[in-house]
Amino acid sequence: MIIYKEIEININDNIYVETKGLNSHLGKEIRIIIGSQHREDYIDIIKYIVDYIVTNRPTISESQSICYYSWLLQFRLMDKNYYDLYEINSDGSDFIRGCDTAISIIRNQSEICSHYKLPAQFPNFSQMIVISKGVYEGKDIEGIRYESPEHMSGWWLITDDYDNNIESLITVHYHHVIFQRPDILKYLALPFGYRFLMENGNVGISKNED
């Protein structure tokens, strides 16, 4: 058992990681089915949810979604006493039980940043990205991240199809890009001021030139 912000977090029969005490905030507890990831990873998600609920005191309802850094989770009322956490699947077509994909994505993003000794700055699932032609078509990408307003991820994704006319760029939802281009997802937590260049199967990461 772990106590976090006065909420108990327990492992139940090696099946669920679940809370005890959130019902005073929600009328329900939260639980995550344990899959193939480390237990500590599920506990981290529970802590994230506890922070969100204790700080913001939201009203949670059936099938309500919540951003978990770069991925999307959903509350499902599968038991009268619990909201189970589901997550969007890899192509965005449905929600599936558990959080294994979310955990894997955040770990991969963190490992890329750690490898380059950089702090991870996770984009939010609800933010926007600027892209050029060719991104959805799977072409090689140069991604550049700039300091941006809160609703923007800061990422500009450019391919060789870009005609140097800034008016040809379009602003799209983050999730439209990652469902089309999961191959770049692990690079998107690189901090503001950095870029990646995907070229002929190789990827280089560097600091933006001033």
Q: What percent of the chain has pLDDT over 70?
A: 100
Q: Residue 59: is its pLDDT beyond 90?
A: no
Tell me: do 81 and 127 sit in the same domain. no
Number of domains in the chain: 2
Tell me: do 85 and 129 sit in the same domain. no
Residue span of the structural domain in which 141 resides: 120-207
Tell me: do 7 and 98 sit in the same domain. yes
Residue 127 lies in a domain: yes
73, 103, 133 — which closes off a domain? 103
Tell me: do 10 and 95 sit in the same domain. yes
Tell me: do 98 and 145 sit in the same domain. no
Confidence of residue 188 (pLDDT cuts 50, 70, 90): very high
Confidence of residue 78 (pLDDT cuts 50, 70, 90): confident
Residue 172 lies in a domain: yes
Mean pLDDT on 96-108: 97
Q: Residue 158: is its pLDDT beyond 90?
A: yes
- pLDDT given for residue 201 in this prediction: 84
Confidence of residue 208 (pLDDT cuts 50, 70, 90): confident
Residue 147 lies in a domain: yes
Tell me: do 52 and 10 sit in the same domain. yes
Least confident of 53-57, 125-129, 149-153: 53-57
Residue 166: CB partners within 8 Å, gap ≥ 6? none
Interior/surface letters 89-123, b for 16+ CB within 10 angstroms, e for the rest? eeeeeebeebbbbbbebbeebbebbeeeebebbbb
- pLDDT given for residue 49 in this prediction: 95
H/E element, 145: strand 142-145
Interior/surface letters 49-88, b for 16+ CB within 10 angstroms, e for the rest? bbeebeeeeeebeeeeebbbbbbbbbbbeeeeebbbbbbb
CA angle 11, 16, 18 (to 5 degrees): 65
Residue type at position 129: I
Residue 187 lies in a domain: yes
Least confident of 13-17, 71-75, 118-122, 191-195: 13-17
H/E element, 86: strand 82-88
What does each C-alpha distance from 33 to 14, 64, 97 come to in angstroms? Answer: 9, 18, 7
Tell me: do 99 and 7 sit in the same domain. yes
Tell me: do 178 and 132 sit in the same domain. yes
What does each C-alpha distance from 93 to 87, 175, 179 come to in angstroms? Answer: 11, 12, 10
Residue 87 lies in a domain: yes
Residue 109 lies in a domain: no
Residue 108 lies in a domain: no
| Joined tokens for residue 109 | 């993003």
How many of the other CB atoms lie within 10 Å of CB of 8?
14
Give the integer Cα–Cα distance in Å for 152 and 188: 13
Taking phi over 0 as left and psi of -120 to 50 as alpha, with beta for the rest, 167 belongs to alpha
Residue 57 lies in a domain: yes
Tell me: do 133 and 50 sit in the same domain. no
